[in-house]
Structure 1
Amino acid sequence: MPEMSLTRINELIIIIYAFSVLFFFIDFIHNNRKANKTAFWLLSIVWLLQTIFLFYQMFTTGRFPILNISEGLYFYSWVLVTLSVVLNRFLRVDFIIFFTNVLGFIMLSIHTFAPSQYESAAVSGQLISELLFIHITMAILSYGAFTLSFVFSLLYLIQFNLLKKKKWGKQLLRIDDLTKLDHMSYVLNVIGVPMLLLSLILGVIWAYLKLPNFHWYDAKVLGSFMMLLVYSFYLYSRIVKEWQGKQVAYLNAASFLILLINFFLFGSLSRFHIWDS
């Protein structure tokens, strides 16, 4: 099988795995059985494709493929996926399953995009560019989810103010009810947080592979992780502290302000965060 075909299979596995982690996060936060079932079947597809690839490597090399760090990472990620499938099938340990899959996603991403495992420099360079493309795409999708969440929170505050002042009119009728606005804002953040997490994982991997002088204290890096912490605090406040309504809407608006600062200000201050490969 050509080298590029193998890389395409691994990239497909990465994308399916990312969606699986997203649904596992939704189940972890929401205790949603449909999300768990979807995540499990996606993870099963990942396991099947990895297993086929593992046996293909064994057939072509004539040995068990664990003799170098790249092969070791792949086998490690396969073991984590296998354990996740078994645990999810027979036990309900959502916390362990979610974080095990995050770790497995990291290991598989490092294996897939590490240039040292590819003989062709062209293939290696193309994969690094594609890694950056996936990182940017996932980051923008998470930003989109956070932006829509902010819009719903803003509409919530407008609706709340109209009701408080007893202004009954067309504006009130055209805006959805408070409960739905609050719920949609929350759901979009539940989607945005794991997407941002996976994007940051891929971004860090890209930086270590591509940049000779990658610094954790870069403005964009710090700002992105600050965003992740702020929106994680939003979910914590909503789920654990049971904040609702106006209080959590203001928190979401403040979180969106951090997003804007990170995108426009920290992006301009970053030493390496430019939109190229």
Structure 2
Amino acid sequence: MVTRSWLFDAMIYMYALSLLFYFSDFANASRSAKRMGTGLLLFVWVLQTAYLAISLYGHLTEWAFVRSDVLFMFSWLIVTISLIVNRFFRIELFVFFVNVLGFAILALNIFGNPYVVPIKSDWDINDELLFIHISLAIGSYAAFSIAAIFSGMYIFLHARLKSKNFSQAVMRLPSLEKIEHYTYLSVIIGGPLLLMALSLGVVWVVLEGNRNLLYDPKVINSFFVLAAYAFYLFQHKSMRISGNKLAVWNLAAFCIVVLNFVVSNLVSDFHGWIWS
């Protein structure tokens, strides 16, 4: 069954948005974020169920399922289990990570399916996968940039308050508590976006059939970026550490982002197009 990819693109973006809300619920125990994440994931499940039913009906006369059906059923089962767990248990982090796996499997199924036709006629289906991968990565870099700006504001304001230098610029800034909250919120958005972008990047490498690309400097450094921000979130949630030290760590993590964007792109085998 030949299908235009716009339906799957919508499914992928809704899936990604639901994961953002789920992670926000884990980080802040927000009931509204959990409801939004559950609602979006339920809608993804409905779309998956409808497509799977139509696809399986078309294969009733065949002896075995094709690979795309198996992968789609696996992704559908992961979403189903996560919805059940989310309904009866409070294991938000489990739901988030199991759905990151489901997200990657869904992408592998969609973009590895020869019957899925790209929206643009002059595109290859892998071009569409790269477009989604890049859009998620850019979103994560934007969120990390905002977090770095807030951290710089925090360090500036903390130093001025400590020295009792109450200038006009200091009076116009938000409180330290608000700045720290905005920084944390930005990282909560950027972290999952980068994780999903990396998962799609791995899917692209698998479809390309050249696993040596996983050892590319930019790919390796991207995992260091993810680890740096994961440690920031761990410090914020589980360790008694001052806001000023958290802000310094966040700026250090952003330096790895800059290193990833500038240096890695110059030596990367397949990310050099950014500078061309």
Normalising to structure 2: TM-score of the pair? Answer: 0.92
Q: AA paired with 1:189? A: V
2:255 equivalent in structure 1? 257
2:203 corresponding residue in structure 1: 205
Q: Secondary structure at the match of 2:214?
A: coil
Q: 1:245 to 1:119 in 2, by over 3 A?
A: closer
Task: Tell me the residue number matched to 2:228.
Answer: 230
Instruction: Pick from 138, 143, 153 the counterpart of residue 145 of structure 1.
Output: 143
Q: Distance in 2 between matches of 1:213 and 1:44?
A: 34
* TM-score, length basis structure 1: 0.92
Query: Residue 215 of structure 2: SS of its match in structure 1?
Result: coil
Distance in 1, matches of 2:122 and 2:105, equals 18
| 1:8 equivalent in structure 2 | 6
Give the drift of 1:115.
Answer: 4.6
Q: Which residue of 1 aligns with 2:104?
A: 106
Determine if the alignment matches structure 1 residue 240 to structure 2 residue 252: no
State the 1:235 CA deviation: 0.4
* Structure 1 residue aligned with 2:270: 272
Amino acid at match of 2:152: L
Measure how far apart 1:62 and its partner are. Answer: 2.6
**Is the CA contact 1:238–1:248 (under 8 Å) kept in the aligned structure 2?**
yes
Of 70, 73, 81, the match for 1:72: 70
TM superposition shift of 1:126: 2.6
The RMSD of aligned alpha carbons is: 2.2
1-structure distance, mates of 2:63, 2:12: 20
* Gap regions ≥5 residues in structure 2: none
Distance 1:123 1:65 in 2: 33
Q: Once the 2 structures are TM-superposed, how far is the Cα of residue 69 of structure 1 from its aligned partner?
A: 2.1
Residues 124 and 239 of structure 1, relative CA distance in 2, 3 Å threshold: farther
Alpha-carbon distance, 1:211 to partner: 6.0
CA contact (8 A) 1:224 1:262 kept: yes
Distance in 2 between residues matched to 1:233 and 1:241, nearest whole Å: 10
Q: Does 1:39 align with 2:37?
A: yes
Residue pair 1:14, 1:109 contacting (<8 A) in 2 also: yes
Q: Residues 213, 80 of structure 1: CA spacing in aligned structure 2 closer, same or farther, 3 A cutoff?
A: closer
Alignment of 1:46-61 (within 5 A): 46-61=44-59
Contact 1:138 1:196 in 2 (8 A): yes
Identity of aligned residues (%): 36
